């Protein structure tokens, strides 16, 4: 410890007299648990420090030890330290860790938290400088959108050209870049034309009138205050004597400026991060911030950490193999002393339900310790998904087998806003007495039926002792509302009657009906027109909801299932397996990790491939790296050969990232349930990729054989094993129908097949609805996408 005392003496001399007069406590055992590089980062208290290092190398541990060191040595008091983390969970964790390291509970640490949490606190103190009162309200997204809509209408702009949600997204982007309306550069404004900037300015003015701000303002206002009020900035530069930032690679421009302003005087800023884990580019994060650190803070101590303490060699090698595919990276060497252990396990499944079933069994086996491995507690297992809609299959499965789980970083599937809305429509289709459901959807999507209209409906219902749907009917008949609202209400009542009749007549499959309800009510359209980053996810969730219906006889049965799930909602004590998105898993670690859904189009996501090209793909690859490096001992990657969308099978290609896994560190568990040693005709017509769909079947076949993934060692191994063991065919495959997406290919007279009604001939075509004379079920109108050509149906390899 001699080097420690020298440094300590140096630091003591650098401290102000008032501090040096304080009694000092001796350094705790926290230093002993660190390697040399980490210790160097902890001890270099003054001046800028950058820890740029790979996953699991103990960056967060070093950062936390640094806080402990600052406090224990009396170099800083808790209130002198500004420590920023990315999530509330991480902030709580950090506070606890500091406490543990010091062997006592930490009093205070008022400035340890997320950017937003810290900025709210600051802004309350200085609100008046920006024209707000200190009791300002923070708007949620709904309020924000409503406000924007009012402004758009007031400006006489066509709402269709400037959908409020699109505007919200644009403004949010500007705020992430710390651009106030007067600072939006012409080039940027040009892309959205000057109107966007004018609306932004009007929106900001209106927020001030309302004594309100939105989420993005919290940082933006603080940056503005620091930039325009030197006295305030200087006060905080003096107060926050030491600044620490975790996950620095994911800061956006506003956060970066805020930090730079605060650190400008004393430069006691320690940032830790990993360029390979930058996964928030889509939200305005700039990985460049971390790469620029040494320019921003010349003379910075740069600490390299290379030993990974989290994962076994196989897991680390697999992660390194994948991330090596990225061009734009610094490149780091990582090693671990944890030699041996399980290789990364890879398994292909027939479909997503099969994947969920297998993972459920695997989790139970690990829990019992029957995998030839040590027992693993449920708390120590996690399923990390790319898209939140993937959670549905796991939640349904785990509820069925009674496996306790928790969803981290978001509501559980059936608690999501869009799912509750959609379910309310379904409930009303089944029972028109469901007043709660009616209240939920009467003005969702917006129908001009505000509080007043709802009161009129309620009054009509109460006076006549009938349900709200009946009340609405009375309002329509007696014309108790004016103009647009009345017309819309009439349409809604019509729709509800129609859907209710369809539920009873069972004319369509309940999946078709569900889809029809969501379309005809305008609910799907509402999210399609929504330009916020969450909207595509919500649409995916709706698709997933319709898919879930497939497991039930009818809507009623499904609603009962969900009601039971909701009843289970009360939090139970005890061990639980965690389900979360890869994004939410940042910084966390688990002994056993499952990574399902590694299929092109899902992961990497279709959008990242379509829209952002190489940049998007590289961010997805970093996400894969984050996923694998969460695992300590067991990492299982899986994919499904088929996914069902709207009850139709679509084949999926294994993710390109699978092919990038280094062979020596991967063990292939079982063959995928594929036919004839390749993707059978089953999948061909319904490829997930629209581009592929356009190609003819034989082309595809050829492509599939030529594609790298099929020639990869991993794939060949899959095939070889498959032949050895014979390919089991899951039961569900029997219900398989092919998605013939080429709707336009149908003409009258075509012979077609429908899952429920069997074979028939097309008699008429109206948009995407077809009149079909079915051999057995008679004449019916059905949605085109539920139909396949009869000869294609014959090809289904049952
Ligand atoms: P990520 O990039 O995923 O955020 P990280 O670099 O922040 O990872 P930590 O979470 O700090 O890594 O550490 C990973 C694991 O290694 C933790 O369980 C931690 O306790 C352990 N660890 C870190 N440093 C050491 C060390 N010097 N000796 C033993 N274990 C360590
Ligand atoms: Mg960390």
Residue 326 lies in a domain: no
Give the model's confidence band at 725: pLDDT under 50 very low, under 70 low, under 90 confident, else very high.
Answer: very low
How would you class 676 by CB atoms within 10 Å of its CB: exposed for 0-12, middle for 13-18, buried for 19 or more? exposed
CA of 625 to the centre of ligand 1 (A): 16
Q: What is the pLDDT of residue 532?
A: 77
Q: What is the pLDDT of residue 611?
A: 72
Percent of the chain having pLDDT more than 90?
44
Q: Catalytic annotation on 250? A: no
Query: Is residue 35 in contact with ligand 1, taking CB distance under 6 Å?
Result: yes
130 with 122: CB under 8 angstroms? Answer: no
How would you class 173 by CB atoms within 10 Å of its CB: exposed for 0-12, middle for 13-18, buried for 19 or more? middle
Q: Say if residue 55 carries a ligand binding annotation.
A: yes
CATH classification at residue 172: 1.10.10.160
Q: What is the pLDDT of residue 66?
A: 94
Distances in whole angstroms, Cα of residue 208 to Cα of each of 116, 138, 154, 179, 328? 19, 11, 17, 17, 42
Omega prior to 754 cis, within 30 of 0: no
Q: What is the pLDDT of residue 17?
A: 61
Q: Catalytic annotation on 59? A: yes
Q: What is the pLDDT of residue 190?
A: 66
Q: Catalytic annotation on 570? A: no
Query: Is residue 310 in contact with ligand 1, taking CB distance under 6 Å?
Result: yes
Mean pLDDT of the region 156-172? 86
* Per-residue pLDDT at 171 exceeds 90: yes
Query: Is residue 55 in contact with ligand 1, taking CB distance under 6 Å?
Result: yes
Ligand 1 site-directed mutation target among 38, 58, 98, most atoms within 8 Å of CB: 58
203 and 261 fall within a common domain: no
Q: What is the pLDDT of residue 578?
A: 94
386 and 441 fall within a common domain: no
596 and 714 fall within a common domain: yes
Structure tokens that stand for 436 in this block: 């709660």
**Residue among 86, 115, 93 nearest 277 (CA):** 86
Q: Catalytic annotation on 488? A: no
Instruction: Name the closest-CA residue to atom 18, ligand 1.
Output: 310
User: Coil, strand, or helix at residue 419?
Assistant: helix
CA of 271 to the centre of ligand 2 (A): 11
Give the model's confidence band at 745: pLDDT under 50 very low, under 70 low, under 90 confident, else very high.
Answer: low
Looking at the CA of 628, name the nearest ligand.
1
How would you class 413 by CB atoms within 10 Å of its CB: exposed for 0-12, middle for 13-18, buried for 19 or more? buried
Instruction: Name the closest-CA residue to atom 2, ligand 1.
Output: 55
Query: Is residue 60 in contact with ligand 1, taking CB distance under 6 Å?
Result: yes
CA of 59 to the centre of ligand 2 (A): 5
Angle between helices 483-505 and 468-477 in degrees, nearest 10 = 130
Q: What is the pLDDT of residue 684?
A: 29
* Per-residue pLDDT at 489 exceeds 90: yes
Query: Is residue 33 in contact with ligand 1, taking CB distance under 6 Å?
Result: yes
Give the strand pairing for 778-783 and 769-774: antiparallel
Catalytic residue among 19, 38, 60, 251: 60
Mean pLDDT of the region 306-322? 95
The Cβ-side half-sphere exposure at 369, using a 13 Å CA radius, reads 3
306 with 53: CB under 8 angstroms? Answer: yes
Mean pLDDT of the region 275-302? 86
The string of DSSP letters for 318-371 reads HHHHHHTT-SSS-----B-S--S-PPEEEEEEEEHHHHHHHHHHHHHHHHHT-S
Q: Which residues of 154-166 are buried (b: 16+ CB within 10 A; e: fewer)?
A: eeeeeeeebbbbb
- Residue spans of alpha helices (H) in 73-113: 88-102
Structure tokens that stand for 529 in this block: 């027109």
307 with 36: CB under 8 angstroms? Answer: no
Give the model's confidence band at 18: pLDDT under 50 very low, under 70 low, under 90 confident, else very high.
Answer: low
User: Whose structure tokens read 């336009």?
Assistant: 744
Looking at the CA of 310, name the nearest ligand.
1
Q: What is the pLDDT of residue 645?
A: 58
Q: Say if residue 58 carries a ligand binding annotation.
A: yes
Instruction: Name the closest-CA residue to atom 23, ligand 1.
Output: 58
* Per-residue pLDDT at 19 exceeds 80: no
CA 179 – CA 444 distance, rounded (Å): 33
CA of 26 to the centre of ligand 1 (A): 24
Give the model's confidence band at 400: pLDDT under 50 very low, under 70 low, under 90 confident, else very high.
Answer: confident
Q: Which of 186-195, 347-356, 372-381, 714-723 has the lowest mean pLDDT?
A: 714-723
Looking at the CA of 42, name the nearest ligand.
1
Q: Which of 28-32, 58-62, 671-675 has the lowest mean pLDDT?
A: 671-675
216 with 172: CB under 8 angstroms? Answer: yes
* Per-residue pLDDT at 755 exceeds 80: no
389 with 537: CB under 8 angstroms? Answer: yes
* Per-residue pLDDT at 137 exceeds 60: yes
Structure tokens that stand for 628 in this block: 């694998």
Give the model's confidence band at 751: pLDDT under 50 very low, under 70 low, under 90 confident, else very high.
Answer: confident
Give the model's confidence band at 28: pLDDT under 50 very low, under 70 low, under 90 confident, else very high.
Answer: low
Catalytic residue among 241, 397, 630, 656: 630
99 and 231 fall within a common domain: yes
747 and 733 fall within a common domain: no
CATH classification at residue 624: 3.40.50.300
* Per-residue pLDDT at 542 exceeds 90: yes
723 and 757 fall within a common domain: no
Mean pLDDT of the region 193-197? 84
Q: Give 402's DSSP letter.
A: T
| Residue bearing the bigger pLDDT, 547 or 718 | 547
- pLDDT tens digits along 574-593: 899 999 999 989 999 999 99
Instruction: Name the closest-CA residue to atom 20, ligand 1.
Output: 61
351 with 643: CB under 8 angstroms? Answer: yes
Give the model's confidence band at 114: pLDDT under 50 very low, under 70 low, under 90 confident, else very high.
Answer: confident
Atom of ligand 1 nearest to the CA of 34: 27
Mean pLDDT of the region 55-80? 93
Residue 97 lies in a domain: yes
CA 629 – CA 309 distance, rounded (Å): 11
Q: Say if residue 56 carries a ligand binding annotation.
A: yes
Structure tokens that stand for 369 in this block: 């310790």
Atom of ligand 1 nearest to the CA of 277: 2
CATH classification at residue 458: 1.10.486.10
719 and 628 fall within a common domain: yes
Query: Is residue 65 in contact with ligand 1, taking CB distance under 6 Å?
Result: no
- pLDDT tens digits along 648-683: 677 888 999 999 999 999 999 864 443 333 332 233
Query: Is residue 354 in contact with ligand 1, taking CB distance under 6 Å?
Result: no
CA of 640 to the centre of ligand 1 (A): 33
* Per-residue pLDDT at 488 exceeds 70: yes
Q: H or E segment at 677?
A: none
Mean pLDDT of the region 585-605? 94
User: Coil, strand, or helix at residue 300?
Assistant: coil
Mean pLDDT of the region 125-135? 91
Supply the mean pLDDT for the chain: 81
For residue 470, the tally of other CB atoms under 10 A from its CB is: 17
241 with 81: CB under 8 angstroms? Answer: yes
Query: Is residue 56 in contact with ligand 1, taking CB distance under 6 Å?
Result: yes
**End position of a domain, from candidates 558, 588, 615:** 558
Q: H or E segment at 510?
A: helix 510-520
Percent of the chain having pLDDT more than 70?
81
Give the model's confidence band at 142: pLDDT under 50 very low, under 70 low, under 90 confident, else very high.
Answer: low
E-only strand ranges, 453-586: 577-581
* Per-residue pLDDT at 31 exceeds 80: yes
Q: Catalytic annotation on 630? A: yes
Instruction: Name the closest-CA residue to atom 21, ligand 1.
Output: 309
User: Coil, strand, or helix at residue 404?
Assistant: coil
356 and 270 fall within a common domain: no
What are the two backbone dihedrals, phi and then psi, of residue 335, each rounded to the nearest 5 degrees? -140, 160
CA of 590 to the centre of ligand 1 (A): 12
CA of 670 to the centre of ligand 1 (A): 33
Domain containing 758 equals 743-795
Q: What is the pLDDT of residue 107?
A: 65
Residue 81 lies in a domain: yes
Give the strand pairing for 81-85 and 112-114: parallel
Instruction: Name the closest-CA residue to atom 27, ligand 1.
Output: 34
For residue 769, the tally of other CB atoms under 10 A from its CB is: 13
CA of 67 to the centre of ligand 1 (A): 16
**End position of a domain, from candidates 497, 530, 558:** 558
Instruction: Name the closest-CA residue to atom 16, ligand 1.
Output: 309
Q: What is the pLDDT of residue 738?
A: 27
Query: Is residue 273 in contact with ligand 1, taking CB distance under 6 Å?
Result: no
Q: Given 3-state DSSP classes, what are the helix, strand and coil percentages for the chain, each rounded to the nearest 5?
A: 55, 15, 30
* Greatest pairwise CA separation for the chain in angstroms: 95
Atom of ligand 1 nearest to the CA of 247: 4
Total domains, the chain: 5
733 and 662 fall within a common domain: yes
Mean pLDDT of the region 284-304? 87
Residue 641 lies in a domain: yes
715 and 613 fall within a common domain: yes
Q: What is the pLDDT of residue 283?
A: 77
**End position of a domain, from candidates 714, 737, 760:** 737
Residue 784 lies in a domain: yes
- pLDDT tens digits along 432-442: 888 878 988 99
**Is the whole model's pTM more than 0.75, yes or no?**
no
CA of 588 to the centre of ligand 1 (A): 10
Residue 571 lies in a domain: no
* Per-residue pLDDT at 426 exceeds 50: yes
Q: Which residues of 489-513 are buried (b: 16+ CB within 10 A; e: fewer)?
A: bbebbebbeebbebbeeebbbbbbb
Residue 215 lies in a domain: no
Structure tokens that stand for 132 in this block: 């707000």
CA 416 – CA 580 distance, rounded (Å): 14
Q: Which of 7-11, 373-377, 581-585, 688-692 has the lowest mean pLDDT?
A: 688-692
Atom of ligand 1 nearest to the CA of 38: 27
Looking at the CA of 303, name the nearest ligand.
1
Mean pLDDT of the region 26-43? 83
Cα angle for residues 388, 391, 396 (degrees, 5° grid): 150
405 and 419 fall within a common domain: no
Q: What is the pLDDT of residue 784?
A: 73
Angle between helices 215-228 and 164-176 in degrees, nearest 10 = 40
- Strand pairing partners for 762? 772
427 with 559: CB under 8 angstroms? Answer: yes
Q: Which of 5-19, 242-256, 529-543 has the lowest mean pLDDT?
A: 5-19
Q: Catalytic annotation on 246? A: yes
Residue 470 lies in a domain: yes
633 and 501 fall within a common domain: no
Query: Is residue 58 in contact with ligand 1, taking CB distance under 6 Å?
Result: yes
Q: What is the pLDDT of residue 150?
A: 84
């Amino acid at each position: 410890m001699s080097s420690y005392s020298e440094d300590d003496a140096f630091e003591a001399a650098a401290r102000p007299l008032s501090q040096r007069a304080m009694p000092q406590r001796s350094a705790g055992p926290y230093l002993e648990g660190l390697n040399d590089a980490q210790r160097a980062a902890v001890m270099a208290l003054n001046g800028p420090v950058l820890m740029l290092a790979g996953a699991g190398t103990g960056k967060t541990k070093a950062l936390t030890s640094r806080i402990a060191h600052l406090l224990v040595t009396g170099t800083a008091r808790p209130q002198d330290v500004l420590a920023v983390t990315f999530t509330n969970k991480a902030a709580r964790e950090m506070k606890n860790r500091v406490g543990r390291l010091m062997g006592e509970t930490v009093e205070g640490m008022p400035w340890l938290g997320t950017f937003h949490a810290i900025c709210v606190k600051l802004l309350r103190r200085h609100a008046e400088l920006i024209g707000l009162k200190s009791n300002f309200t923070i708007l949620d997204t709904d309020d924000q959108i409503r406000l924007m809509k009012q402004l758009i209408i007031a400006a006489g702009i066509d709402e269709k050209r400037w959908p409020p949600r699109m505007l919200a997204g644009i403004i949010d982007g500007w705020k992430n870049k710390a651009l106030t309306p007067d600072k939006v550069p012409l080039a940027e404004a040009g892309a959205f034309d000057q109107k966007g900037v004018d609306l932004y300015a009007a929106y900001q003015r209106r927020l001030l009138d309302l004594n309100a701000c939105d989420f993005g303002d919290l940082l933006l206002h603080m940056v503005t205050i620091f930039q325009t009020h030197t006295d305030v900035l200087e006060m905080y530069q003096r107060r926050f004597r030491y600044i620490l930032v975790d996950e620095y690679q994911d800061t956006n421009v506003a956060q970066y400026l805020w930090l730079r302003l605060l650190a400008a005087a004393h430069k006691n800023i320690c940032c830790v991060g990993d360029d390979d884990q930058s996964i928030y580019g889509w939200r305005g994060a700039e990985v460049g911030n971390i790469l620029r650190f040494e320019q921003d803070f010349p003379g910075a101590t740069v600490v390299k950490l290379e030993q990974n303490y989290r994962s076994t060699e196989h897991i680390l090698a697999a992660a390194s193999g994948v991330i090596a595919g990225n061009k734009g990276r610094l490149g780091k060497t990582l090693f671990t002393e944890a030699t041996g252990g399980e290789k990364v396990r890879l398994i292909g499944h027939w479909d997503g339900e099969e994947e969920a079933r297998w993972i459920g069994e695997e989790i139970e086996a690990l829990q019992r310790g029957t995998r030839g491995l040590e027992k693993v507690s449920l708390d120590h297992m996690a399923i990390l998904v790319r898209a939140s809609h993937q959670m549905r299959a796991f939640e349904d499965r785990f509820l069925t087998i009674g496996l306790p789980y928790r969803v981290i970083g978001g509501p559980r599937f059936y608690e999501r806003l869009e799912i509750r809305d959609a379910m309310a429509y379904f409930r009303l289709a089944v029972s028109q007495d469901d007043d709660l459901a009616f209240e939920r959807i009467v003005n969702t999507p917006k129908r001009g039926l505000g509080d007043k209209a709802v009161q009129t409906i309620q009054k009509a219902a109460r006076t006549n002792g009938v349900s709200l749907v009946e009340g609405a009917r009375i309002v329509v008949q007696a014309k108790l509302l004016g103009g647009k609202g009345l017309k819309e209400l009439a349409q809604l009542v019509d729709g509800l009657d129609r859907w209710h009749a369809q539920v009873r007549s069972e004319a369509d499959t309940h999946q078709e009906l569900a889809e029809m309800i969501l379309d005809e009510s305008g609910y799907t359209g509402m999210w399609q027109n929504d330009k916020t980053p969450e909207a595509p996810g919500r649409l995916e969730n709706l698709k997933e909801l319709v898919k879930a219906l497939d497991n039930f006889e009818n809507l009623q049965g499904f609603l009962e299932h969900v009601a039971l799930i909701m009843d289970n909602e009360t939090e139970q004590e005890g061990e639980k397996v965690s389900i979360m998105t890869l994004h939410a898993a940042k910084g966390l670690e688990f002994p056993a990790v499952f990574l399902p859904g590694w299929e092109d189009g899902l992961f990497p996501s279709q959008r990242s491939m379509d829209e952002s090209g190489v940049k998007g793909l590289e961010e997805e690859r970093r996400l894969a790296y984050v996923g694998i490096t969460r695992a300590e001992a067991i990492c299982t990657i899986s994919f499904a050969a088929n996914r069902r969308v709207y009850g139709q099978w679509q084949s999926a290609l294994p993710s390109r990232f699978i092919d990038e896994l280094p062979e020596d560190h991967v063990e292939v568990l079982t063959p995928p349930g594929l036919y004839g040693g390749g993707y059978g005709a089953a999948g061909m017509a319904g490829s997930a990729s629209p581009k592929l769909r356009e190609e003819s079947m034989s082309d595809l076949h050829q492509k599939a054989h030529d594609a790298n993934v099929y020639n990869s060692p991993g794939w060949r191994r899959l095939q070889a094993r498959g032949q050895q063991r014979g390919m089991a065919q899951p039961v569900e495959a029997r219900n398989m129908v092919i998605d013939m997406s080429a709707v336009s290919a149908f003409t009258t007279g075509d012979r077609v097949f429908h899952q429920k009604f069997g074979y028939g001939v097309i008699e008429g075509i109206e948009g995407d609805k077809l009149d079909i004379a079915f051999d057995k079920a008679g004449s019916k109108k059905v949605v085109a996408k539920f139909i396949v050509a009869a000869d294609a149906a014959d090809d289904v390899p049952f």
